A and B are shown apart, each in its own frame.
Chain A
Amino acid sequence: MKHVKGHSPREHANKSLDQHASASLGSPHPLRTNSTTLSDAWRRGLPPVLFTLSVLVAWDVVVQAFALPPILLPRPWDVVQSGWQQADVLWRGAVVTGSAALAGFALSVVIGSMIAMLMSQSTTIRLALYPYVILLQTVPIVAIAPLLIIWSGYEFRTVVWVTLIISLFPIVNSVTEGLMAIPRDRLDLFTLYGATRAQTLMRLRIPTAIRYLLLGARTSCGLAVIGAIVAEFFVGNGGANYSGLGTLMTGWQTLGKTASLLAALFVSTGLGIGMFAMVHLLSTTILSRWTSTDDL
């Protein structure tokens, strides 16, 4: 194919139309400076910080006003002190619980995606499997944890199984939806060019489903931490040499160490937030260049 090297004035005008649009898409707003970005960060970050401080002050006032005993509700500062004193134990607990949550979450992503891929292949498979996927969502995890302990023992792996079960449903659900919800024009494009089933799966369905997978993963990662801690309540009760945050919490509850218990609670919350932030960062990194209003 030969190309026209020279351009007429009208062609130049056409290109400048696109270039103008491109420039406005690709570059930041000319009036937007670093200081504006910084003040934006302050404006967004300040309200939650102020709210947290208000809650802590209200908490302290309530404890003092009603002279609540520390076993019922310690003062915020006591919780901080207790957490500091138990920092080593809490850190080791966070590592154990975090590892179990991460392992269960990773397994749920892999296994959930495989189940979703299977379900997307035919209506019959979908109808056959879907009730069991719903079952995963509805089964009470506190009821299934003791059963899993009988089968798998008071072990780290049992915590991972529980975590996997609780975090699997959002992945299966969202990936299946992603694999099925392909815009008609895109499917037509592949049909027109006679794409094989494998080509459509690899080049269209799976890339489309990645966005849905990441959305499901945001829900799933939070559930993974909850699943790990709930499982540790049971695993720790068996007297096994296991030191996850859930085990520590049951232990400190028995000993009446409410301040330490609350410190562990905050650490586990931080663990959940950390997991969510990790998935959020991953999804924004992957999706930032893909996302546009009309294409996704």
Chain B
Amino acid sequence: MVNLALDSTAANPSSLRCHGLSVRFGDHRNVLDRITCEFPAGRISSLVGPSGCGKSTLLRTLAGLQMPTQGRVQIDPPADAGRGEIAFVFQQATLLPWRSAIENVMLPLELCGLASSAKQRRELAIDELSAMELETAAMNRYPSELSGGMKMRVSLARALVTRPAVLLLDEPFAALDDMLRTALGDLLLRRWAMSAFTAVLVTHNVSEAVMLSHHVFVMRSGQLTPPIDDWLPHPRDETVRTSKEFNELYAAVSELLRGDLA
């Protein structure tokens, strides 16, 4: 049994290296085609690209949910999802409807055997939900009684409660309106500032990728372009979003994407 102290930060962030990674479903063409890249430790990397280009497959392969047909993923230092060191946030909140918000956040702690008692698991869950700025009254509600934004806060809290070294996010804010999307993006940045985990974010939204990342990868037909380094300053607030540098980065990523679609 591993004990997580309430004030503990993330495990040492790991870098993720893909070596000639390919994934093929049946006899179709490679969804991922010999990808070699590195997602640096303690940084947020974004993957943008058109629908069906293989972004989510790459993320699932990084998580170990999809076996590669060829190649391998190297995680350094090694991180074990079974100990909560790798976490995944799905596009939908994917909460269990028969569990309250707190109980949903407690789930990874139960499955991974983290924390010494139910009381401590509960305290950790409340702590993480507070960090996700979920109002106290909502913590005992069931998912059906929560708004879309609240559900995503719970989903983020569930992913972060184990203090992961690697956080993988598969278009987590895609179903939300612009205001909530921005709010939760800011929240993710503030939470990253507290524990500097390695994050890989799949998104369709160029603005979101530029605003949240240190590196932006554009994906095209199962392959990745070299990353665009995002040199915007931290902390990132509304002034960053309206800056000239932001617009330049936005234009650079958009141009790469247009090249893909042309």
Provided the pairs A191-B65, A292-B144, A295-B143 are in contact, do residues A185 and B90 lie with their beta carbons within 8 angstroms?
Answer: yes
The answer to whether B147 and A22 touch across the interface, beta carbons within 8 angstroms, is: yes
Known: A17-B149, A21-B147, A185-B92. 17 other contacts (CB 8 A): A1-B194, A18-B135, A18-B147, A19-B135, A22-B146, A22-B147, A188-B90, A189-B88, A192-B81, A192-B88, A193-B111, A195-B111, A203-B110, A289-B145, A291-B97, A292-B143, A294-B92
Residues of B within 8 A of A186 (CB): 94, 96
Residues of A within 8 A of B142 (CB): 289-290
Residues of B within 8 A of A294 (CB): 92
Say if the beta carbon of A190 comes within 8 Å of chain B. yes
Q: Can you spell out 20 A-B residue pairs with CB atoms less than 8 angstroms apart?
A: A1-B7, A1-B195, A3-B131, A4-B190, A10-B238, A13-B183, A15-B135, A18-B134, A18-B150, A18-B153, A21-B150, A22-B146, A188-B65, A189-B88, A189-B94, A192-B64, A193-B112, A291-B97, A292-B143, A295-B143
The one of B81, B143, B144, B145 in contact with A194, judged by C-beta atoms closer than 8 angstroms, is B81
Residues of A within 8 A of B60 (CB): 188
The answer to whether B81 and A193 touch across the interface, beta carbons within 8 angstroms, is: yes
The one of A1, A191, A193 in contact with B108, judged by C-beta atoms closer than 8 angstroms, is A193
The answer to whether A10 and B186 touch across the interface, beta carbons within 8 angstroms, is: yes
Residues of A within 8 A of B146 (CB): 22, 25
Residues of A within 8 A of B108 (CB): 193
Give complex CA distance A191, B146 in Å. 26
Provided the pairs A17-B183, A22-B146 are in contact, do residues A290 and B97 lie with their beta carbons within 8 angstroms?
Answer: yes
Give complex CA distance A264, B6 in Å. 66
The one of B7, B88, B145 in contact with A188, judged by C-beta atoms closer than 8 angstroms, is B88
A272-296 contacts to B, CB under 8 A, are 289-292, 294-296
Residue of B nearest to A195 (CB): B111
Q: Could you tell me how many residues of chain B have their Cβ less than 8 Å away from some Cβ of chain A?
A: 56
Give complex CA distance A190, B107 in Å. 9
Residues of B within 8 A of A190 (CB): 111
User: What 3 A-B pairs come out closest when comparing CB atoms?
Assistant: A194-B82, A21-B147, A292-B144
Q: What's the minimum C-beta distance from B33 to chain A, rounded to whole angstroms?
A: 23
Say if the beta carbon of B138 comes within 8 Å of chain A. yes
Give complex CA distance A21, B131 in Å. 20
Give complex CA distance A10, B111 in Å. 36
Provided the pairs A1-B6, A192-B86, A193-B81 are in contact, do residues A22 and B98 lie with their beta carbons within 8 angstroms?
Answer: no
Q: What's the minimum C-beta distance from A284 to chain B, rounded to whole angstroms?
A: 13
Say if the beta carbon of B44 comes within 8 Å of chain A. no
Interface string of A61-72 (1 = CB under 8 A from B): 000000000000
Residues of B within 8 A of A195 (CB): 111
Residue of B nearest to A4 (CB): B190
B60-109 contacts to A, CB under 8 A, are 60, 63-65, 80-82, 84, 86-88, 90, 92-98, 107-108
Say if the beta carbon of B239 comes within 8 Å of chain A. no
Say if the beta carbon of B133 comes within 8 Å of chain A. yes
Provided the pairs A1-B131, A17-B149 are in contact, do residues A22 and B138 lie with their beta carbons within 8 angstroms?
Answer: yes
A175-214 contacts to B, CB under 8 A, are 183, 185-186, 188-195, 199, 203-204, 207, 210
Residue of B nearest to A204 (CB): B96
Say if the beta carbon of B38 comes within 8 Å of chain A. no
Say if the beta carbon of A44 comes within 8 Å of chain B. no
Residues of B within 8 A of A21 (CB): 147-150
Provided the pairs A1-B6, A290-B97, A294-B92 are in contact, do residues A192 and B147 lie with their beta carbons within 8 angstroms?
Answer: no
Say if the beta carbon of B8 comes within 8 Å of chain A. yes
- Residues on B facing A (Cβ under 8 Å): 6-9, 60, 63-65, 80-82, 84, 86-88, 90, 92-98, 107-108, 110-112, 127-128, 130-131, 133-135, 138, 141-150, 153, 179-180, 183, 186-187, 190, 194-195, 238
Most chain A beta-carbon neighbours within 10 Å: one of B80, B92, B97, B112: B97
Most chain A beta-carbon neighbours within 10 Å: one of B6, B147, B179: B147
Provided the pairs A188-B88, A194-B111 are in contact, do residues A17 and B96 lie with their beta carbons within 8 angstroms?
Answer: no
The one of B8, B84, B134 in contact with A1, judged by C-beta atoms closer than 8 angstroms, is B8
Residues of B within 8 A of A203 (CB): 96, 107, 110-111
The answer to whether A2 and B135 touch across the interface, beta carbons within 8 angstroms, is: no
Most chain B beta-carbon neighbours within 10 Å: one of A1, A2, A290, A292: A1
Give complex CA distance A213, B106 in Å. 26
The answer to whether A2 and B7 touch across the interface, beta carbons within 8 angstroms, is: yes
Say if the beta carbon of A131 comes within 8 Å of chain B. no
The one of A3, A25, A292 in contact with B130, judged by C-beta atoms closer than 8 angstroms, is A3
Say if the beta carbon of A88 comes within 8 Å of chain B. no
Residue of B nearest to A286 (CB): B98
Give complex CA distance A134, B108 in Å. 39
Q: What's the minimum C-beta distance from B180 to chain A, rounded to whole angstroms?
A: 6
The answer to whether A207 and B98 touch across the interface, beta carbons within 8 angstroms, is: yes
The answer to whether B183 and A14 touch across the interface, beta carbons within 8 angstroms, is: yes
Residue of A nearest to B150 (CB): A18
Give complex CA distance A11, B135 in Å. 12
The answer to whether A26 and B145 touch across the interface, beta carbons within 8 angstroms, is: yes
Give complex CA distance A196, B53 in Å. 33
Residues of A within 8 A of B84 (CB): 193
